[in-house]
Structure formats: C-alpha cells, structure tokens
Amino acid sequence: MNKKVPANLAAAVAALCAGTTVVVTRVAVGEIDPIALAFYRYVVAAACLVPLLPFLWPKVRLPVADIIKIALLGGVFFGFFPWAFSAALQYTSAARGAIDIATIPIQTLIVAALFGREQMTSYKIFSVALAFTGIVVVFGPEAYGGKVSSYLMGDGLMLLGAFSAAIYSVFGRPVFGKYGPMFVMVLAIVFGVLALLPLAFASGALTHWPRFSREGWLAVIFLGTVGAAIQFSLFTWSLRWLLPSRAVIYLTLSPITAILLGGVILGEAVTPVLIVGLVFVIAGIFVANWRDADKRALVKTGTIQQE
C-alpha cells in the first residue's frame, strides 16, 4: 500500500497544529513560567500516550544502545525543545517565532547531508528556498523593522529549538523503522519529561499545585493534547514513510497558520503580503512532491522496502 499520500497529509496537519501551538504558547507565557509550561505540557502529553505503550511495545528485544539513543533523542526534542520554544516566546513575537521554526527544513537538510543520511539535490534546495521565501515575504517587514536587538534572545532560543528538531528528525529514523514510530515517540516523550523534571523542581514548579488561571489550564491542556500528543504523533508517523526533508518542509505552513490565528486571537491584520507568501509556500511544497526521487533514494539506501 502506498503510504506517501497519508504521510504527506499527516505532516501537513502536524504543521498546522504547530502554527496553532505558537499562538497559544505566546499567550500562555504571559502567565506561566517557560519551564513549568514545558513540563506540564508534556506531562499531559505523556498521560495521553503512555497508556498505549503496552500495545506499541515491540516484539524484539531493545538493546541498551537503542534505549540510550531514544533517551537522548527524547531529552533533546521533548526536553530541550519545549523549554526553548516557551522561553523564546517571552522575548519574540508569534510571527518571528514561527519564522524561526520554519527554518527546520533548512537545518534538517544540512544535518542530513553532513552526516550522509540524505543526498542534497538541487530540487530539494530549490523547494525549501521557495517555501522559505514565502516566510520572508510574509514577515520581512517585521523581521527587518529595526527591532533586531530586542529579538536576539528569542530568535536565538527558537533557532536552537529548531536545530534540536532537525537532530530528532534525522537521527530518529533508524529507530522508527526498527521499533515503530509511535513506540519510539511515546518512549521519547517519557524521557523528555524526566529530563525536564529536575528543571521543574529547581524552578519551584513542583513545590505547590500550579496556580494557573482557567485560561492557563486550557492552554496547558491544549498544548499537551493537540500541540504535543496529536501533533508529534502525526509528524513522527510521517517520518516513517518520508525523508526528513520531505516531512519537515510542511513546517513552512506553520507561520501562515500563526498569522491567521493571530488575526483572530491577537487582532493582527491579514494583509495581501500573506497571500503572496502563501503562494510561495505552496509552490515549495509542490516542488518537493513533484518528483518521485525520494522513494527511489529510500529504496536505494535500504531505509524502506520497495512498495
């Protein structure tokens, strides 16, 4: 059965969830400390997904080396990333944060090429360039509007978070194939929560019951369910059938989602520039899916079986 169509759809929906998550987090960090927000967000995600572990547990034995690898991936992507993501949005806007997240395809291509996990081809570079041009068109006036110094901290943290996502995308694929993407993701989330635990304790987030407002609790629950459990389940499953560069290019949709929701929730105007940027983003995704080279490359390298 050809899994590429549902895999592409899953990656696209995950990207739309990511854009929503940026806006919700931007609102929540005004009330909740970034460490506490990251910790409780993934506690909620773990509560949703851990009950599935007995059904997902592989029939083969897990070597210690693979457990360590999953633990490291979990600490990087489900530990460091949510903290950096939440902390960054204290210093930068939702729009700029979404721009930084949209660099994940570029960072993933670079990481995959440097470590020999994927061939760098001209059409891949061109597709990502088209999509990222759309992001620059949409947010260019703000990105170069004379506020560079005030956003350096936020952009730096978000770019580091995006880099951790690139690491997870590239180096997670071998264990996804061996043990199943959902199993690896759920176990990685558990390790991510454990990585955040000492930080949450040190920040005082565990010394008393969280005193969030009703909106704060709704944000945490949303971020833990839609923004973590659902979003990363879809994204991780798509990585089982798509090359990292193919899957993460859909993240260029997240800034578009962020600005649309920002218009509704934060009162930001939707301008004609958005339409132009959207055309570039769609063009980038179209180019990425224009050729069937990804499948041939996967078969050639033995990362998937011939369908």
Q: Is residue 306 part of a domain?
A: no
Q: Is residue 307 part of a domain?
A: no
pTM greater than 0.85 (yes/no):
no
Q: How far is CA 197 from CA 39, 43, 178, in A?
A: 7, 10, 28
> CB atoms < 10 A from the CB of 12, how many?
18
Q: pLDDT tens digits for the chain (307 residues)? A: 567 888 889 989 999 999 999 999 988 988 889 999 999 999 999 999 999 999 999 988 899 999 999 999 999 999 999 999 999 988 877 777 887 787 787 788 788 888 877 777 777 788 778 877 877 776 665 554 555 555 577 778 988 998 998 898 888 888 888 898 889 999 999 999 999 999 999 888 888 888 888 888 999 999 999 999 999 899 878 877 877 667 777 877 888 888 788 777 766 666 677 678 777 877 777 776 665 444 544 444 444 444 3
Report the amino acid identity of residue 128. Answer: V
In angstroms, the CA 208 to CA 73 distance is 30
Q: Is residue 54 part of a domain?
A: yes
> CB atoms < 10 A from the CB of 292, how many?
9
Look-up: residue for tokens 């454990």? 194
Query: In total, how many domains does the chain have?
Result: 1
In angstroms, the CA 72 to CA 57 distance is 19
Q: Is residue 170 part of a domain?
A: yes
Q: Is residue 47 part of a domain?
A: yes
Domain region containing 91:
4-301
